Chain A
């Protein structure tokens, strides 16, 4: 059977988008480069129907029916003739995707009794893209199961033909070689954490009433993302003051906040179209109060969203890809160099990542059926805890994913700050919290 990708895509060879180039070579045990969006429903999810829904979604979004290959100069995507595999949900989200077990697909569909989840390798798309696939999948599942028919507001339409823009790489359109490159920044503080760590992703999920957090943010003239960034920075400042007692030796604390560029530049692509806003504080200058942090964050977020600065970042990223030395270096040399340089150019500059996928507006027909929506990021080796935020109905879910086996101090400080600020926080976890785990107590508890 001959698979037809879209007309505009060169058959058999689809170049990765600019953002995606770094993900395949740097993929490793503690650098899965994956994320997950999931939707919990009251109805029981049936595998057979989900399989059919997945086939239909792949028919609609043919650009997702691809597998990753290593070429002589670059990694590339090519049409995947194999069938999609549906997996039963495991014990943790955003782990490494074993492409062989997934028939080469770059995203993984998982299900449990009441959950449909989509785990995605970042080379295919970003969070917003994955959420669009999930919406389409859920929509199709409900149609096929005969429950109800609906359309997510603002989502892809199942009946439409895929447009050229859906699989375009806007970074290439926005590249302007005359602009100066965005400057690189110094190393940031990294929370080491206590105790051991391994590749199991431990989750602590904090559910918050949307109205309360909105009100608290509004009191300070902040958005929800800015408020959560401020709390995160405040938490990291506290942890740094414990790990580095000498003020002068404290490194900057910075957060990497992915920004959805679709709204800013008006592209509707289903590939990666995200850049990172970097907000932070300089604890070497002294201790910041929470109000001071909020002011810094607000100011820096506004600056980061300036189109001119974003275009300069795009120039740096695409310029690197178009550099002749990089273009014509064989993959065998480029891969290890990317692995070695990715920390220096990325993870080392940030103390943490907080990704807010925004508020998911549910269609009326589905709203009563949804019990929960989640978004999880894979943590890294330098930043062992990652934060992912998503909103639905009247709830905001903040998911902490961590490699640390026992240390939950970051999560504790973050949540207790919100509790002290008057926000009710409900906690759930996949960590063992039975009686046998009493010996879990960390070094902080002893203090």
Chain B
């Protein structure tokens, strides 16, 4: 019988490799051994199965049993109170909540798949609620907004988007334009504010975001302070709102003026002055940052 040169354990007769460390057994030709009888009658099957774990199974069973109990309770209570014709919304809501919980447990435990599944289920739920009188009205707007959430906050984190950054950016932009277009058509039944407000606002926001990233990335010091990110984001948000007010006033009244966003605009300007100051003057920057760095 051979011994493993690495582990020092005695190996069963005829072993080609050590079962513990996979070190190859090399024997002189005249000392080669026949295989010993295996530990079990048959070889291990090529593949095993994964199945649903005990915890997942328990959770699913619990959700299903609660679903059955609550559906029955709702049904009988409404039947006894002669309001069965209003039972669609509570029963549908319980069914959708059950489906959501089970799908989330069974889907891949990562942000993109969980958020995608949840977005889809929310859309289905909204459409279902609206469809109980066999027409679709408000749910279309809500469903499209959820779809926009997916486009902005889920799709960019997918592995495809990460590996095809340019295409992904283009797709997001196109979908944003499409969203504005559909919203305009659904709300006004014609293209009204889409070009003068929607597209213009989108262009301004993109330009501001682009400038913000440029300012963050094209700097000498590669370490970006958290305060710069917060103030920069605040500036973009406040100025975008002011521009939105400006465009809306022009669209509604016909003149360029600020109606409700004057304070926001001034706040954004103060932030801009502050950010420019600390970017230009090292002394000012040091005044506002850690004293440890002064030396």
Contacts and interface: CB of A to CB of B under 8 A. Distances in A.
6 contacts: A199-B48, A202-B44, A381-B53, A416-B9, A428-B12, A445-B22
A299 interface: no
Contacts of A199: 48-51
Interface stretch (B35-43, B82-90, B216-224, B237-245): B35-43
B266 interface: no
Interface in B38-62: 38-45, 47-55, 57-62
A25 to B, nearest CB: 8
B40 A93 contact: yes
B48 A28 contact: no
A430 B40 contact: yes
B53 A200 contact: no
Interface of A: 26, 28-31, 88-93, 112-113, 198-200, 202-206, 332-333, 335-340, 342-343, 381, 405, 408, 411-412, 415-416, 419-420, 424-435, 437-438, 440-441, 445
Given A336-B57, A438-B17, 4 more contacts: A336-B61, A338-B58, A419-B9, A445-B21
B15 A29 contact: no
B16 A411 contact: no
Given A29-B49, A200-B48, A339 B20 contact: no
A31 B43 CA distance: 22
Interface of B: 1, 4, 7-12, 15-22, 24, 36, 38-45, 47-55, 57-62, 65, 68
Chain A interface mostly helix, strand, loop or mixed?
mixed
Contacts of A408: 19-21
A203 B68 CA distance: 43
A424 B54 CA distance: 39
B51 A430 contact: no
B40 A91 contact: yes
Contacts of B53: 28-31, 381
A420 B6 CA distance: 12
A200 B9 contact: no
A30 B40 CA distance: 21
Given A200-B48, A429-B19, A336 B65 contact: yes
A231 to B, nearest CB: 14
A416 B41 contact: no
A342 B7 contact: no
B65 A91 contact: no
B55 A412 contact: no
A433 B19 contact: yes
B7 A28 contact: no
A446 to B, nearest CB: 12
Contacts of A342: 54
